[in-house]
Amino acid sequence: MSSASSVVALPELGLMSVSGPDAGAFLQSQLTNDVARLTPQQMQLSGYCTPKGRLLATFHQWRSEETVFLRLPRELIATIAKRLSMFVMRAKAQVTDVSDAWSTYALVGTNAGSALREAGFSVPDAPWRSTSVGETRIDRVLPTPDGMERFLLSLPSGSQLPLPKTSLQTSSNLWWLSEIDAAVPTVFAATQEKFVPQMINLEVLGGVDFKKGCYPGQEIVARSQYLGKLKRRMNIAQVETTGVQAGADIFHSGSTQPVGAVVMAAPFSSAASRLLFEAPLDRVESGSLHLQSPAGPRLSGLPLPYALFDPTE
């Protein structure tokens, strides 16, 4: 990955707002993280589950006065907005797709923070912290293991990007590859309802609050956490093939049935891909894993950039 700071346009990410006096309380009853603790100076990872605890979406979420913003793949916004709206009932809250009003960019590089300072921005001092200058919001996210600083910028659509000393990439692949290297998952349409949060390490990344009140699937998520060792996890791999799709099956050398699935993938070179995948830990630790069939391309495991731990202990 290039060390020079690059700006990446992310039109595949959309933005949804939940606004009104009851917006925070309503989302507190729906999402996996603690919306009540949100401030304008921070951002959270969060998820939205079915009653069976399976993820329908993962979000970046933040608050601005009586509005909570949710950033997620644009392909999911219509269905998630419709589903949330069904449960608003008497709450004074309105769910709106505001994707057309905002543009999202990523800034990635070893000197990304310096590029922001040179452009006159205040730089968030830690991952999941945020700053704003005028209508431009800057969210700092986890770095990659090789030291790439990463930021997400939200600004009104049609605004000029205020980073003249950075190169604008024509492909969003740099961003998605950096997400894989940082092992931060996104749920797409192809992977809806495939994972409970712990299967993709969401609680390790701070995306699940086990002390907050109830939300759809909360009982299943809590039971997975407290009753025995978690047996399925997300890991990183490289594979010598291209065109890998989210949701693709993962096979073990000793099984004719799929044992896991690709969470997300991105090209690493002209002949190889990097991916996040979910599978049983005992299958990851013994034998070999293959893409799409037991005889398919073999996955070469890479280390996670963070330790797996129990946030409830």
Question: pLDDT class for 182, splitting at 50, 70, 90?
Answer: very high
Q: Quick one: 193 and 166 in the same domain?
A: no
Predicted confidence (pLDDT) at residue 46 exceeds the cutoff of 70: yes
Q: How far apart are CA 212 and CA 290, in angstroms?
A: 39
Range of the domain at 166: 1-170
pLDDT per residue over 239-295, tens digit each? Answer: 999 999 999 999 999 899 999 999 999 999 999 999 999 999 999 999 999 999 999
Handedness of CA 107, 113, 117, 123 (dihedral sign): positive
CATH of the domain at 214: 2.40.30.160
Average of per-residue pLDDT across 176-190: 99
φ/ψ of 29, rounded to 5, equals -90, 0
Predicted confidence (pLDDT) at residue 160 exceeds the cutoff of 80: yes
pLDDT per residue over 71-102, tens digit each? Answer: 999 999 999 999 999 999 999 999 999 999 99
pTM, full prediction: 0.95
Predicted confidence (pLDDT) at residue 298 exceeds the cutoff of 60: yes
Query: Coil, helix or strand for 176?
Result: helix
Query: Coil, helix or strand for 227?
Result: coil
Q: Quick one: 134 and 213 in the same domain?
A: no
Poorest-confidence range of 28-37, 164-173, 204-213, 289-298? 164-173
Of 170, 205, 228, the residue that ends a domain is 170
Q: What percent of the chain has pLDDT over 90?
A: 90
pLDDT per residue over 93-146, tens digit each? Answer: 999 999 999 999 999 999 999 999 999 999 999 999 999 998 999 999 999 999
Q: Quick one: 8 and 138 in the same domain?
A: yes
φ/ψ of 44, rounded to 5, equals -120, 150
Q: Quick one: 52 and 143 in the same domain?
A: yes
Q: Is residue 139 part of a domain?
A: yes
pLDDT value, residue 3: 53
Predicted confidence (pLDDT) at residue 2 exceeds the cutoff of 90: no
Q: Quick one: 106 and 161 in the same domain?
A: yes
Closest-CA residue to 76 (of 56, 102, 103): 56
Q: Do 110 and 151 contact (CB within 8 A), yes or no?
A: no
Quick one: DSSP state of residue 129?
Answer: B
Of 143, 170, 197, the residue that ends a domain is 170
If one counts the domains in the chain, the total is 2
Q: Is residue 216 part of a domain?
A: yes
Q: Which residues pair with 15 in a beta bridge?
A: 71
Average of per-residue pLDDT across 16-30: 97
Q: Quick one: 271 and 221 in the same domain?
A: yes
Predicted confidence (pLDDT) at residue 196 exceeds the cutoff of 60: yes
Q: Higher confidence at residue 5 or residue 44?
A: 44
Q: How far apart are CA 80 and CA 55, in angstroms?
A: 11
Block residue for tokens 């993280």 = 33
List all residues 6 or more positions away from 297 whose beta carbon is below 8 Å from its beta carbon: 239, 240, 241, 290, 291
Which helix (H) or strand (E) is 132 found in, with range?
Answer: strand 130-133
Pair of tokens at residue 22: 């009851």
CATH of the domain at 104: 3.30.1360.120
Q: Is residue 293 part of a domain?
A: yes
Closest-CA residue to 17 (of 73, 103, 77): 77
Query: Coil, helix or strand for 98?
Result: coil
Helices (runs of H) and strands (runs of E) counted in the chain = 6, 17
